[in-house]
């Protein structure tokens, strides 16, 4: 480790003693699965996601309303995947203990720097990144305990969105969904967590009652302020590729294993 890296890790350890008294929230799910919509709601409920001018920036071409994603954290995830020989859409094999690899030391140093510079002193903070449902062991190894907010969307609509946005064929998009979904389910089973179904987000402020309770803001969904913010943020212009809200449309064309995976994810949002 470089001298600069040692200094950063020392600084980070001092801040981590404070972070142990903080809550760290990870918003995750599949790409094109509604994580941006939910991340903004998490922010409205008091979770600091990073500098507002950065996290709210639009993504030209596919999300003009903002990703609500701190791109410096996303770049760490991309660096991890690249170091392991893959990318977000060509996933590497994640061997046992991969997150402790010495090859990932630059990413550990970068996390220490980011947390010290951006999140120190925040009582509740977090980040949104679909990649994190696969890479959570790395983040937790560096940060300590992390809580999970997951978003589950009709896989056939995810496939359609990835086909439109990225040109992926159904086989590739569905295989990606399966890897991310398996990671999401593992995170939900092993962490303090909550899950939301994407298709329910348009049911008004009450759709976020369980999320508000999870974040320690029980009843926030009933306030006029929150209702106005949700009305301004969640509207049907965001909802593309909608084959239906029922289970039949969600599991059409899936394998038995994929159906079971989707149903298990939805059960965590019940």
The band of 18, judged by pLDDT with boundaries at 50, 70 and 90, is very low
Q: What percent of the chain has pLDDT over 70?
A: 86
pLDDT digits (tens, 9 = 90+) for 198-236: 999 999 999 999 999 999 999 999 999 999 999 999 876
The band of 13, judged by pLDDT with boundaries at 50, 70 and 90, is low
- Mean pLDDT of the 165-176 span: 94
pLDDT digits (tens, 9 = 90+) for 43-77: 999 999 999 999 988 776 656 678 899 999 999 99
Could you write out the three-class secondary structure of the chain?
CCHHHHHHHHHHHHHHHHHCCCEEEEEEECCCCCHHHHHHHHHHCCCECCCHHHHCCCECCCECCCCCCCHHHHHHHHHHHHHCCCCCCCCCCCCCCHHHCHHHHHHHHHHHHHHHHHHCCCCEEEEECCCHHHHHHHHHHHHCCCEEEEEECCHHHHHHHHHHHHCCCHHHHHHHHHHHHHHHHHHHHHCCEEEEEHHHHHHCHHHHHHHHHHCCCCCHHHCHHHHHHHHHHCCHHHCCCCCCCCHHHHHCCCCHHHHHHHHHHHHCCC
Q: Which residue has the higher pLDDT, 229 or 248?
A: 229
Domains and CATH numbers, the chain: 3-267 (3.40.50)
Q: Does residue 167 carry a pLDDT above 60?
A: yes
């Amino acid at each position: 480790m470089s001298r600069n890296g040692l200094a950063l890790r020392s600084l980070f350890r001092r801040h981590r003693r404070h972070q142990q008294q903080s809550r760290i929230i990870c918003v995750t799910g599949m790409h094109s699965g509604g994580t941006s919509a939910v991340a903004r709601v998490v922010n409205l409920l008091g979770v600091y996601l990073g500098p507002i001018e950065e996290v709210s920036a639009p993504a030209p071409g596919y999300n003009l309303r903002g990703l609500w994603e701190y791109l410096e954290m996303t770049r760490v995830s991309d660096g991890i995947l690249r170091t392991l020989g893959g990318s977000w859409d060509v996933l590497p094999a994640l061997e046992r203990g991969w997150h402790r690899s010495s090859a990932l030391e630059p990413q550990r140093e970068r996390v220490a720097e980011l947390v010290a510079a951006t999140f120190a002193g925040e009582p509740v903070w977090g980040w949104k990144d679909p990649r994190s449902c696969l890479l959570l062991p790395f983040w937790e190894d560096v940060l300590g305990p992390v809580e999970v907010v997951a978003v589950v969307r009709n896989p056939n609509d995810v496939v359609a969105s990835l086909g439109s946005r990225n040109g992926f064929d159904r086989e590739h998009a569905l295989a990606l969904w399966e890897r991310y979904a398996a990671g999401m389910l593992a995170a939900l089973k092993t962490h303090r967590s909550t899950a939301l179904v994407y298709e329910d987000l348009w049911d008004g402020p009450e759709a976020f009652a369980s999320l508000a309770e999870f974040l320690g803001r029980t009843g926030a969904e009933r306030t006029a302020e929150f209702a106005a913010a949700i009305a301004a943020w969640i509207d049907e212009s965001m909802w593309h590729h909608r084959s239906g809200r029922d289970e039949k449309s969600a599991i059409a064309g899936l394998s038995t294993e994929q159906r079971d995976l989707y149903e298990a994810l939805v059960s965590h949002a019940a």
